[in-house]
Structure 1
Amino acid sequence: MNRLTRVTRTTAFKLSALYISVFTLISAFLLAYIYQNTNQLMSAQVTQTVDAEISGLADEYVRGGVRALVESIDRRARRPDASLYLLTDFAGNAIAGNIARLPSIILDETDGGIRRVQYARLEADGEVERQALVRIFELRGGFKLLVGRDLGDEQHFAELLGGAMRLWLVVIVIMSAVTWLFVSRRVMKRIDGIAETSRRIMHGDLSGRLPVAGNQDEFDRLATNLNDMLERIELLMRGMKDVTDNIAHDLKTPLTRMRSQVETALSEGKTEADLRAALDTTLHETDSLIRIFDALLRIARIEAMAPESGMEPVNISRLIESVAELYSPLLEDEGGALTVDADPDVRAICNGDLVTQTLVNLVENALKYGRLENEPLRLVMACHVDGDRVCVSVTDNGPGIPKSQQDRVKARFVRLDESRSEPGYGLGLSLVNAVARLHGGQLLLQDAGPGLTAQMDFKLAPVEENNEAEDSGNEGEAERS
C-alpha cells in the first residue's frame, strides 16, 4: 500500500494519467465526429436514392397507370440491392413489392416525409426484421406507394466503426499504461540515483556524483550541471582543508620561532639594544606571516569568484609585452635575456589584472628558481592561438621540476628541497593555478629540455568583440592625444 501510494504521488504517474485522459477524450471525440458525419453522409445518399426511385416510378405511373407501375415495381424488387418497394390498394392490401410486413400505422402517414421504420423483408430463407428509411405517397385511386432503402449496410458500418472505437480506446489505454510503466520506472530510477548520491554527499562523501546516462536528455543536463557544482564545492572544501592543514603545519614553525625570540629577549635581554633587536626580528617574522595570510586570502578570493567575474576581451599580446618590458632590464643587467614570442593582437576573454599577476608570478618564480650556476637565465614569454583557446607560457632554461613533482608543486605551501634556500612560501604557483581554473583552463608544467615551461590557456575572444575592443582602444588613445 505504501509503495502504491508512493507511485501515485509521483509526477510521472500524474502526467501519465493526464495524458491517458487527454488522448482518450480526443480519440473518442474524433471517432464520434467521424461516425456522426459518416452517418449524415450515408443518410443523405439514401435520401437521394429514394427520391430518384420515386421520380422514376412516378413517370411509370403517369405513362402506363397502375399496371405499368406494378410491373416496374416487380422488376425492381427482384434486383439484389437494398431498395424497398410496396404498393397497396385503398384497403391496405399489398399489390406489389418486396416488403412482407409493415406496421399499418406507417401506411397511414402519407405526407411524403422520410422516416426510419422497422419492417420484415422477403428473403430466400424467409422474413428478416430490418430497418429502413422510407417515403410514402398516396396516388390517385386510393393507392399508396412506399419507396425506401434498407439500412443494413449502414448499420454494419456503424457496428464496425463502434468496434473500431472500442478497440482504439482499449489500445490507447494499454499503450498509455505501458508507456507509464516504462517512463515511471526510468524516471524513478534516475531520481532514486540522484537521491542516493545526495544522501552520500550529505553524509560527507563529497566525491559522489550524479549518474549521467549519456543520452543528453534533461536529466543528463541537470546531472551534468549539478556535478559541475559539486566539483566546485569539493574543490573549495578541499582547498579550505588544505589551507587549514597547511596553516597548522607551515605556520607553526615561524610562530614557535617568534615565541622563542620573545622569551629569549625577556630572559636574556640586558640592554635596550638587545630588546630592540628582538623586536625587529619579531616584526620581520610578523610581516612574513601577514604576507602569507594575504597570499592565502588572495587565492581564496580567486577560487570563490564566479567564472564571469571581470571577464572582458583583453589584448594578451600587449599585456605580455608590458610585463616583458618591466623585467627585461633586470635580466640584461645579469647577462640574461627575456624574449617575447607572441602572435600579434591576440585577444582573450579574461580578467586582465589577474592574468598580469599570474605572469608576474611566473617570471618571479623563474628568477628565483630557474637559474643555473654557470649559465645566464633566459626567459621566453609566448602567446599563440590554438583553436578557440589562447595559450600563454613562460619558459626558462633552468633545472626544471621533476615530472613526478609537477602536479604537487601547484598545491599551497609546497616547496621542493632545491628551493628551500630561496625566500618564499610556496604559494606562487597555487595562485597561478587558481587563476587558470577561474578562466576554465589549467596550469600545465612541462619539461622544456632544458628548463621548465609553465602554460595557461584562455578563451579566444570572438572577432566581433576583438573589433569592439580595438575600436574602444583607438578612441581612448585619441582622447589621450
Structure 2
Amino acid sequence: MTRLRRFTRTTAFKLSLLYIAVFTVMSGFLLLYVADNTDHLMSEQVVQSVDSEMKDLADVYVRGGVRELVDTIGRRSRHPDASLYLLVDFAGNALVGNIARLPTTVLEEADGGLRRVRYTRIGQDLEGVERQAMVRTFELRGGFRLLVGRDLGDQLRFANLLANALRLWLIVVVVMAAITWLFVSRRVMKRIDELSATSRTIMQGDLSGRLPIAGTNDEFDRLAVNLNTMLDRIEVLMQSMKDVTDNIAHDLKTPLARLQARIETALREAKGEQGYRSALEAALEESDQLLRVFNALLHIARIESMAPGSVMAPTDLNKLVAEVADLYEPLVEDEGGRLETALAPSLRADCNRDLVSQALVNLIENVLKYGRPQDGKLVIRLSGGEEDGRVVLEVSDNGPGIPEGDQDRVMERFVRLEESRSEPGTGLGLSLVKAIARLHGGDLRFKNEGPGLKARIDLKPVISRSGHEQGGTTGQSGQPGQP
C-alpha cells in the first residue's frame, strides 16, 4: 500500500491519468461522431428508398388501378430484400404484402408521415421475429391503404457494431494506457531514484558522486550530463578552495611568523627611535606583502564571479597590444632584451579590455622573472590572429620553458616552480591569467617551443548583426592593468 500510494502521488501517474482521460474522451467523441453521421446517412438513404418505392407504386396505381398494384406488390414482396409492402382494403383485410403483423394505428393514420415501427415479416425464417422498420402509409381511392417501408436491420446491426467497437476501443485504450503508465512510471521512478541516491551521496560530503547516464540521449540523460558538468565544476571549485586555504596557510604562515618575530624582537631589543623605526619599516614591508597576496586573491575571486555578458565589449586588439608594448618595451630593453609585436590587421574581439591587458601584462612579467635565456638576449613576442573561429593572443619567449608535467600545475594558486623563491611574487599571476581566459570562454595553454615557451589565450571574435565575424579599428579606452 505504501508503494502504491507513492506511485499515485508521482507526476508520472497524474500525467498518465490526464493522458488516459483526454485520449479516451477524444476517441469516444470520434467514434460517436462517426456513428451519428453514419446513422444519419443511412436514415436518409432509407427515406429516399421509401419515397422512391412509394412514387413507383403510385404511378402503377394510376395506370392500372388496384389489380395492377396488387400484381406489382406481389412480385416485389417475393424478393428477399429490405423493402416492405402491405395493401389492405377498407375493412382492414390484407390483400397483398410481406408484413405479417404490425400495430393497427399505423394503418389507421394513413397521412403519409414517416414512422418508425415494430413489425413481423412474412417469411420462412422470419415468422414471429419482431423487427424495426421505417414506413409511410397512404390512403387510396376506394378505402384502400398502402404501406411502403424499409427494414432497419442493417442499420441497427451497424449501430450495434459501432457501439461494440466503441466499448472494445475504450477497454483497449485503458488497458494499454495502464501498461504504458506502469512501464513509464517504473522507468521514470528508477531514474529519479538514481538521481535522489546520487544527491544524497553528494549531500553527505562525497563530491565524487555523479548521476548515471543511460546513453539514450533522452531528457534524463541531458539533465544528468548538465548536472554532472555542474558537479565537476563544483568539485573543482571546492578542491580549489581547499588548495587555496592550504596554500594560504602555508604561504602566509612564514611572513606572519616573521612579522611577529620582528615585532617581538623590536619590543625586546630595539633601543631609541632609530631602532623602533627600523622595526616598523620591516613590519610594514611584511604587511604590504600580505596585502598584495590578499588583493590578488580577491581580484581572482571577483573575476571568477563575473557574468561574462556584463563585462564584454568589442575591442581593437591591435591598439590594446600596442599600448601594452609601449608600456613594457623600455623595461624589456633595460633588461637587455627586445619586445616584438605581430598581430593580424584589424584584429577585434568581444572581451574586457582591462582584463585582457592585465593578462598580457602578467604573462610579460612572468617572462621577465623566469623566461630569460641562459645565453643570448631575451626576446618577447606578442602575436595574435584567428584560429578555429576564435581570436588567439600569444606571448612567447626564448627562455628555458616549463616542463610539460608542470604546465598545468603552474597555473594553480601559490604555485611557484622556483623553490628558492628568490624572485619577488605571490604565485598568483598565472592563476589570474587563467581566470581571465575562463571568463572569456577560453583557456590558458602553454607550449614549449625548444627553446622558449609560448603562452596563449583565446577570445571570442566580434560578431556583426548579420552573424559574420567583424573587423574594425576602434576599441575601448582605458589603460592596461598592473600586475
Residues 366-409 of structure 1, C-alpha deviations (whole Å, 9 max, x = no match): 00000023221111112121122111111111111111111111
The structure with higher relative contact order (CA 8 Å, sep 6+) is 2
Worse overlay, 99-108 or 346-355: 99-108
1:104 — aligned with what?
Answer: 104
Deviates more, 1:247-256 or 1:335-344: 335-344
**Alignment-derived partner of residue 114 in structure 1:** 114
Q: Secondary structure at the match of 1:251?
A: helix
Is the Cα–Cα contact under 8 Å of residues 371 and 399 in structure 1 kept in the other structure? yes
Match of 1:370 in 2: 371
Instruction: Report the 3-state secondary structure (helix = DSSP H, G, I; strand = E; otherwise coil) of the residue aligned with 2:79.
Output: coil
In the alignment, what sits opposite 1:233?
Answer: 234
User: In the alignment, which residue of structure 1 is the partner of 2:260?
Assistant: 259
Q: Which moved more, 1:405-414 or 1:227-236?
A: 227-236
Aligned mates of 2:378, 2:419 — CA distance in 1: 17
The residue aligned with 1:154 is 155
**Residue in structure 1 matched with residue 456 of structure 2 by the alignment:** 455
Report the secondary structure of 1:123's partner residue. coil
CA deviation after TM superposition for structure 1 residue 419, in Å: 6.3
Match of 2:248?
Answer: 247
TM-aligned CA deviation for residue 59 of structure 1: 1.1
Deviations 1:324-369 (A, max 9, x none): 2221222234432211121122222221111110110000000000
Q: Identify the range of structure 1 (357-366 vs 85-94) with the bigger mean alpha-carbon deviation.
A: 85-94
Counterpart of 1:369, as a letter, is: Y
- The CA deviation at 1:469 is 8.8
2:481 maps to which residue? none
Offset, 1:237: 2.7
CA contact (8 A) 1:318 1:345 kept: no
Query: Which segment drifts farther, 261-270 or 317-326?
Result: 261-270
Matched residues, percent identical?
62
1:314 counterpart letter in structure 2:
T
Match for residue 298 of structure 2?
A: 297
C-alpha separation between the residues in 1 aligned to 2:186 and 2:457? 46
Residues 217 and 322 of structure 1: CA distance in aligned 2, closer, same or farther (over 3 Å): farther
Which amino acid counterpart does residue 82 of structure 1 have in structure 2? Answer: A
Aligned to 2:207, what secondary structure does the other structure show?
A: coil
Q: Secondary structure at the match of 2:311?
A: coil
**Cα pair distance change 1:331/1:443, threshold 3 Å:** same
Q: Residues 255-334 of structure 1 correspond to what in structure 2 (within 5 A)?
A: 255-334=256-335
Partner of 1:401: 402
Normalised by the size of structure 1, how large is the TM-score?
0.92
Which stretch shows the higher mean deviation, 271-280 or 393-402?
A: 271-280
Which letter maps to 2:359?
T
Amino acid at match of 1:246: N
Question: 2:308 is paired with a residue of what secondary structure?
Answer: coil
Tell me the equivalent position of 1:38: 38
Within 1, Cα distance between the matches of 2:399 and 2:11?
63
> In terms of mean alpha carbon deviation, does 244-253 or 272-281 score higher?
272-281
Are 1:435 and 2:431 an aligned pair? no
Distance apart, 1:213 and its partner CA: 4.7
CA contact (8 A) 2:12 2:184 kept: yes
- The 1:307/1:408 distance shift into structure 2, 3 A limit, reads same
- Equivalent residue number for residue 360 of structure 2: 359
Native 8 Å contact 1:194 1:210 kept in 2: yes
CA distance in 1, matches of 2:13, 2:48: 52
Structure 1: which 5+ runs fail to align?
A: 477-481
- Contact 1:347 1:466 survives alignment (8 Å): no
Cα contact 2:316–2:473 (8 A) shared by 1: no
Secondary structure, counterpart of 2:346 in structure 1:
coil
Cα distance, 1:73 vs. partner?
A: 0.3
Q: What aligned pairs does 1:7-156 form with structure 2 within 5 A after superposition?
A: 7-127=7-127, 128-156=129-157
Q: Which moved more, 1:60-69 or 1:256-265?
A: 256-265
For 1:94, give the aligned amino acid. Answer: A
How far off its partner does 1:472 sit? 6.9
CA distance in 2, matches of 1:239, 1:309: 25
Supply the AA of the counterpart residue of 1:425: T
Q: CA–CA distance in 2 between the matches of 1:146 and 1:215?
A: 71
Q: By how many angstroms is 1:242 displaced?
A: 1.9
Q: Distance in 1 between matches of 2:471 and 2:420?
A: 42
What is the rounded CA distance, in whole Å, between the counterparts of 1:250 and 1:215 in structure 2? Answer: 49
Aligned residues: 476
Cα deviations across residues 226-255 of structure 1 (Å, max 9, x unaligned)? 444444433333332222111111111111
Q: Deviations over 1:42-74 (max 9, x none)?
A: 111111111111111111111111110011001
Aligned to 2:186: 185
**Residue 223 of structure 1: CA displacement?**
4.0
Match of 1:479 in 2: none
How far is the alpha carbon of 1:438 from its aligned partner? 1.6
- The code of the aligned residue for 1:8 comes to T
CA contact (8 A) 1:379 1:397 kept: yes
Q: 1:431 to 1:203 in 2, by over 3 A?
A: same
Question: CA RMSD of the aligned region, Å?
Answer: 2.4
1:434 counterpart SS class: helix
Aligned in 2, Cα 1:475/1:98: closer, same or farther, shift over 3 Å? Answer: farther
Matched to 1:44, the amino acid is E
The alignment partner of 1:358 has SS state of helix
Does 2:423 align with 1:425? no
On the 8 A contact 2:101/2:120 being kept in 1, the answer is yes
1:171, distance to aligned residue in structure 2 (A): 2.3
Structure 2 Cα separation of the partners of residues 474 and 320 of structure 1: 13
Q: Measured at CA, do residues 213 and 392 of structure 1 come closer, stay the same or move farther in structure 2, by a change above 3 Å? A: farther
Tell me the amino acid that sits aligned with residue 185 of structure 2.
S
Give SS of 1:417's match: coil
1:338–1:378: 8 Å Cα contact kept in structure 2?
A: yes
User: Partners in 2 of 1:245 and 1:418 — Cα distance?
Assistant: 17
Whether the 8 Å CA contact 1:369–1:419 is kept in 2: the answer is no
Q: Structure 1 residues 467, 409: CA separation in 2 closer, same or farther (over 3 Å shift)?
A: closer
Residues 313, 469 of structure 1: 8 Å contact kept: no
1:456 shift after superposition? 1.1
CA contact (8 A) 1:236 1:303 kept: no
Residue identity in the other structure for 2:60: E
User: What SS class does the counterpart of residue 309 from structure 2 fall into?
Assistant: coil
Gaps of 5+ in 2: 479-483
What is the letter of the counterpart of residue 179 of structure 2?
V
Alignment partners' CA distance in 2, 1:125 and 1:228: 80
- Flag the 1:384–1:173 CA change in 2: closer, same or farther, 3 A: same
Q: Structure 1 residues 179-188 or 395-404, which shifts more?
A: 179-188
CA distance in 2, matches of 1:32, 1:9: 33
SS of residue paired to 1:120: strand
Check 1:467–1:373 CA distance in 2 against 1; reply closer, same or farther (3 A cut).
Answer: closer
> Is the Cα contact below 8 Å between 1:309 and 1:351 reproduced in 2?
no
Deviations 1:63-93 (A, max 9, x none): 1111100110011112232111111112222
1:206 CA displacement: 2.6
